[in-house]
Amino acid sequence: MTFPPLRDELRGIEPYGAPQLPIDVVPVQLNVNENPYGPSAACIADIAASAAEAAATLNRYPDREFVALREALASYLTRDAVSRLAGARTSTTESSIAPEQVWAANGSNEVMLQLLQAFGGPGRTAVSFAPTYSMYPEYARDTNTRWVAGHRAEDFSLDLDAARDLVKTEQPSVILLPSPNNPTGTALPPEAVGVLCEAAGDEGIVVVDEAYGEFRRSGVPSALELLPSYRNLVVTRTMSKAFAGAGLRLGYLAAAPEICDAIRVVRLPYHLSAVTQAVALAALRHAPELLGKVDELRAERDALVDWLRAEAYDVADSDANFVLFGRFADRHAVWQGLLDRGVLIRETGPDGWLRVSVGTPDEMAAFRAALTDVDGERA
């Protein structure tokens, strides 16, 4: 037996994670889809005061049910769902989300791991469609859930008939559907979620991972609207991306109360620290400000797609705050060339493609200049 006595299937596996390099060494960091804009002085002051208040009670365990935070997230999601329904097809009551329908954890990664802990496990199957977020098979591996990856079409969209057939054949207890997808940026068409919720039935939950949901282009609906129609639907969100709170580690979901109650069985007690709860509540009070750059980032994203296409790159349509582009015979050389010029992007996705996050106008100018320089020899 080799030491340490690690599970056989974990031997030799590298921990997941993009390279983290100091900002003074690599000034333009466009590799992990963060929001480039930090909080204002007023927001920082509110967060600091809230953390100080929480600090005064650190000898006690935090509220295990994080009631105040669930209420604040529910009201944020209700406002988000209602404000997007410009045509008022759905009444406010139908689209309102109650605190019992909300769950949260340390990042949406932990939320989804908890979903697999509760709904996956030995003898059960989880399904997604590749190329997709690389953590999904890790949640499955870590919970001893069988992993099955269907495939996306050439343009990274879902072939709905094939997807439905796969669900019928594999009968997964968890289906992971990112919308927009990482690393391709592809959003799901409105009918996809309903079709797959019906195909899964009561034996499976359909998790629509909307980590990048706030960046979707206008006219693309959120799966939140479908919650009243499908009790097996779960919509996950995060404060890491549009909300400019990647350092906060707060992800959450909206689903039927029975689903939230099931997660309570597997969560560790007091998993959300008093500091996390206080800081997340403070950040939610500043939601309009923290989300205030989303429109600018979407415009910057669209301009980036146009520029890359004008430069004759292949570019996937994007509803997120990043863009997948290619194709390169040696993508690693391009990635390295950009890094040598102080621009860090991500070597991920199908072979030949690279992913770049949308930053400030200055950062995007630096990226464009570096790419032009590196790839100047391209035929």
322 binds ligand PMP (CB under 6 A): no
How far apart are alpha carbons 241 and 294 in whole angstroms? 10
Report, in Å, the least distance between residue 344 CB and ligand PMP.
15
Stretch that binds ligand PMP, among 107-115, 305-313, 333-341, 369-377 (CB under 6 A): 107-115
The rounded radius of gyration (Å) of the Cα atoms in the chain is 21
Q: Kindly give, in sequence order, each residue whose CB lies less than 8 Å from that of residue 78, ignoring residues fewer than 6 positions away.
A: 92, 95, 96, 97
357 binds ligand PMP (CB under 6 A): no
Q: Kindly give, in sequence order, each residue whose CB lies less than 8 Å from that of residue 123, ignoring residues fewer than 6 positions away.
A: 146
Identity of the residue, 95 or 109, whose beta carbon is nearer to ligand PMP in the bound complex = 109
- Would you give the binding string for ligand PMP spanning residues 230-269, x where CB under 6 A is met? --------x-x-----x----x------------------
How far apart are alpha carbons 170 and 123 in whole angstroms? 12
Identity of the residue, 33 or 114, whose beta carbon is nearer to ligand PMP in the bound complex = 33
How far apart are alpha carbons 286 and 245 in whole angstroms? 11
How far apart are alpha carbons 152 and 271 in whole angstroms? 35
Can you tell me which of 115, 211, 280, 338 binds ligand PMP, judged by CB under 6 A? 211
How many residues at the interface with ligand PMP, by CB under 6 A? Answer: 13
Identity of the residue, 110 or 225, whose beta carbon is nearer to ligand PMP in the bound complex = 110
Cis amide prior to 4 (ω within 30 degrees): yes
Closest CA to 130 of 174, 190, 181: 181
CB 319 within 8 Å of CB 185:
yes
Report, in Å, the least distance between residue 206 CB and ligand PMP.
15
31 binds ligand PMP (CB under 6 A): no
Q: Please list every residue from 113 through 142 that binds ligand PMP, using CB under 6 A.
A: 133
Residues lying near ligand PMP in the complex (CB under 6 A) are found at 33, 107-109, 133, 178, 182, 209, 211, 238, 240, 246, 251
